[in-house]
């Protein structure tokens, strides 16, 4: 009951502080609250366990409360500060994913601080009045004492100590690297809608799009909107443009989304000649596709060679990535109608004009020429000079132009007007002519695996077909993944350094700080192992949100190590030798460590096991925390005592006069 008292208080404080910071309740902050429940129980359990142990020694309620609170207060403070210092960098990280999970870090930080305040104020006061039972742990103390004795006996041998440290530190590092799941950018969180894009033939006008595509689509969807056919539709939209058409269709029942996707691809969007249509379930994070798109960029100055390389790259990607969708950002065919105006330099010189002058005239004949601004008393208005419309190249060539010489000449005498075809658009990246292929990997393939296939099987052949100055780049989500991994590595390193320095200051010992840090690889291995086991049941990649789980894990798993190290050093300061201090720390702290671990695990298990529309968003993160906490808690009980006794010298016994043999006997 006393432990449960901390939950509503901590939750109330957390909700009030979230409101004060201007945050809202969403799936991310709610996940943080779920974890905060486990954290509030952790500190409460440690505090009440310490008080109960003092009661077991025969102290009164008030004396036991004072002694227990004094005993664990430094360790609880250290655990809280380390957790906050690891979580807070996520709040201030600038990339989109970190901003997405800033609510999680802030919620957990507030919950941890609130749990500390409650545990050192409310709980000791309540325990001094209501904790009446003595010897509450008499039955279980013998079991934990037996565990402590076994661990100490195991670490009595120097050879076993070094072997244990080697296995429990090196093995997790190697296995973590070997078992890492495939990399991804964001989890595939889907919307209950089918999104599509239609690539239209070059030169298609809006009226044609309306007549040839929009109206037929509306007619085909009408029976489903009226409920005459299944699946019934909630709504849809079609957004037509000159370069393509976007559409979205939402079912009335979200469970019909797979059936709707099949219907759209096999019935609704078929029978439109000279078009390319891409339709798939919409992505929660915005954009077309599932948030795993790769912008495969080819760059070169020779445009015809660049175009040929892009065509071969498109075919090669479809061959090496079966099931992938490949869409060019601009058409790979020179089929877009265009007018090419070539200046007649001789005639321009005769009338006293330059190429710049005729360019100004051409702008006026096209979209218009900016000539100045007009202020109407309230705002400034642009003044645009635009000639009357023309409807054919021949009419444009016959447009009369007044020259500086006073004559009037048709435009066709000053420039050569030629009807031709060209690319659908001009794209430059960093000043280089660029053609981009938007690659959406198959559903069963992660973003990292797709990039690896492109680099291994596609890029060498494409580079060989490009001119000497050609290059290949990976942007889009691939570029975002690359930048996010660099930021994540930097923040992990900074968090680790900050954690080490903070622990060194709190313990006043670099060695003890290092001992605590050395338990982190066990947690990382546990997180990766849990992901591997989860992949046996459902697809799960190592996306950026899951990686944030390792940052969060770093601030959590050190709590158990801090409790053990602090208790052992406290026993040593009381005069106990290393062996006795380690055994006493294990006997005293094993129970609260196991209990706090179980509360954290049960607080996070719903995020892993309970299905729901948003569960895929934080399932990976929850899995990392559950696996990391479980493995770390079990093996830390063996690793830390081994580290504390690593340099312990074998016991020696002073000799006495009776022990010595007389010189004559030698």
Q: What tens digit of pLDDT does each residue of 348-405 get?
A: 898 889 998 888 888 888 888 888 888 888 888 888 888 888 888 888 889 998 888 8
Nearest by Cα to 250 from 268, 265, 234, 261: 234
408 vs 422: CA distance, rounded Å: 32
Confidence band for 600, pLDDT divided at 50, 70 and 90: confident
Q: Where in the chain is the domain with CATH 3.30.70.1430?
A: 190-283
Which residue carries 């037929």 as its tokens?
216
| Greater model confidence, 278 or 218 | 218
184 vs 637: CA distance, rounded Å: 34
Name the packing angle between helices 27-56 and 102-130 (round to 10°).
30
Which is it for the CA torsion 161, 165, 168, 174, positive or negative?
Answer: negative
Q: Where in the chain is the domain with CATH 1.20.1640.10?
A: 1-136, 138-179+509-648
pTM: 0.76
- Peptide bond connecting 231 to the previous residue in cis, omega within 30 degrees of 0: yes
Q: What is the pLDDT of residue 242?
A: 59
For residue 514, give both structure tokens: 């290092």
Q: What is the pLDDT of residue 653?
A: 39
pLDDT at 176 over 90: yes
Strand 432-440 with 325-328, pairing: antiparallel
Q: Where in the chain is the domain with CATH 3.30.2090.10?
A: 336-422
Q: Quote the percentage of the chain above a pLDDT of 70.
A: 89
Q: 138-179+509-648 has which fold?
A: Multidrug efflux transporter AcrB transmembrane fold (1.20.1640)
Q: What is the pLDDT of residue 292?
A: 72
Q: Please, what is the end-to-end C-alpha distance for the chain in angstroms?
A: 72
175's CB contacts (< 8 A; 6+ apart) are: 525, 528, 529
DSSP state of 183: B
264 vs 270: CA distance, rounded Å: 8
Four-way CATH pick for 1-136: 3.40.50.300, 1.20.1640.10, 1.20.1250.20, 3.30.230.10: 1.20.1640.10
CATH number of 190-283: 3.30.70.1430
Assess if CATH 3.20.20.80 describes domain 336-422. Answer: no
pLDDT tens column, 444-466: 888 888 999 999 999 999 999 99
Reduced to 3 states (helix: H, G, I; strand: E, B; else coil), residue 331 is: coil
89 Cα distance to chain centroid: 14
Nearest by Cα to 72 from 564, 501, 556, 558: 564
- Most confident residue range from 161-175, 180-194, 538-552, 608-622: 161-175
Name the packing angle between helices 578-609 and 615-644 (round to 10°).
170
Average pLDDT over residues 325-334: 72
């Amino acid at each position: 009951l006393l432990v449960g008292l901390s939950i509503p208080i901590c939750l109330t404080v957390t909700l009030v502080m979230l409101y004060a910071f201007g945050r809202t309740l969403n799936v991310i902050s709610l996940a943080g609250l779920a974890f905060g429940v486990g954290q509030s129980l952790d500190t409460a359990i440690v505090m009440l366990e310490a008080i109960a142990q003092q009661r077991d020694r025969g102290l009164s309620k008030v004396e036991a409360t004072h002694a227990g609170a004094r005993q664990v207060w430094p360790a609880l403070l250290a655990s809280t500060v380390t957790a906050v210092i690891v979580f807070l960098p996520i709040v201030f990280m600038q990339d989109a994913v970190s901003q997405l999970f800033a609510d999680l870090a802030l919620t957990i930080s507030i919950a941890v601080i609130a749990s500390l305040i409650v545990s050192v104020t409310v709980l000791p006061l309540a325990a001094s009045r209501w904790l009446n039972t003595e010897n509450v742990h008499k039955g279980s103390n013998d079991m934990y004492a037996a565990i402590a004795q076994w661990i100490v006996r195991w670490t009595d041998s120097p050879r076993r100590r070094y072997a244990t440290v080697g296995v429990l530190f090196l093995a997790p590092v190697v296995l973590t690297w070997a078992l890492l799941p495939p990399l991804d950018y964001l989890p595939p969180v889907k919307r209950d809608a089918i999104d599509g894009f239609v690539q239209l033939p070059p030169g298609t006008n809006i009226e044609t799009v309306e007549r040839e595509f929009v109206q037929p689509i509306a007619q085909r969807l009408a029976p489903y909107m009226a409920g005459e056919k299944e699946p019934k539709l909630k709504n849809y939209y079609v957004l037509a443009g000159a370069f393509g058409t976007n559409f979205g269709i939402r079912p009335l029942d979200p469970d019909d989304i797979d059936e709707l996707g099949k219907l759209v691809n096999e019935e609704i969007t078929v029978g439109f000649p000279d078009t390319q249509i891409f339709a798939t379930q919409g992505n929660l994070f915005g954009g077309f596709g599932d948030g795993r798109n790769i912008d495969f960029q080819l760059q070169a100055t020779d445009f015809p060679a660049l175009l040929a390389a892009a065509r071969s790259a498109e075919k090669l990607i479809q061959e090496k990535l079966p099931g992938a969708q490949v869409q060019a950002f601009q058409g790979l065919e020179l089929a877009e109608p265009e007018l090419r105006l070539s200046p007649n330099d001789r005639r321009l010189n005769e009338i006293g004009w330059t190429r710049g002058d005729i360019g100004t005239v051409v702008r006026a004949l096209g979209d218009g020429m900016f000539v100045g601004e007009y202020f109407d008393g309230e705002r400034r208005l642009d003044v645009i000079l635009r000639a009357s419309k023309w409807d054919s190249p021949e009419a444009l060539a016959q447009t009369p132009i007044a020259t500086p010489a006073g004559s009037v000449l048709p435009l066709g005498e000053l420039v050569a007007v030629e009807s031709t075809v060209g690319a659908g658009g001009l794209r430059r990246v960093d000043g280089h002519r660029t053609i981009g292929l938007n690659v959406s990997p198959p559903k069963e393939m992660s973003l990292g695996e797709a990039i690896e296939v492109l680099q291994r099987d596609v890029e060498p052949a494409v580079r060989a077909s490009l001119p000497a100055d050609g290059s290949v780049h990976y942007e889009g989500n691939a570029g975002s993944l690359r930048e996010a991994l660099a930021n994540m590595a930097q923040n992990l390193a900074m968090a680790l350094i900050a954690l080490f320095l903070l622990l060194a200051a709190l313990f006043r010992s670099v060695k003890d700080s290092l001992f605590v840090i050395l338990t982190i690889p066990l947690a990382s291995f546990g997180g990766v192992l849990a992901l591997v086991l989860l992949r046996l049941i459902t697809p799960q990649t190592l996306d950026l949100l899951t990686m944030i789980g390792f940052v969060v894990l770093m601030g959590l798993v050190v709590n158990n190590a801090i409790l053990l190290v602090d208790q052992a050093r406290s026993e040593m300061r009381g005069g106990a030798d290393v062996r006795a201090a380690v055994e006493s720390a294990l006997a005293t702290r094993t129970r609260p460590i196991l209990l706090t671990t179980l509360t954290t695990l049960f607080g996070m298990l719903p995020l892993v096991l309970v299905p729901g529309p948003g569960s895929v968003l934080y399932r990976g993160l929850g899995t990392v925390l559950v696996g990391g906490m479980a493995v770390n808690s079990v093996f830390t009980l063996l690793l830390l005592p081994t580290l504390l006794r690593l340099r312990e010298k074998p016991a020696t016994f002073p000799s006495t006069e009776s022990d010595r043999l007389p010189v004559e006997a030698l």
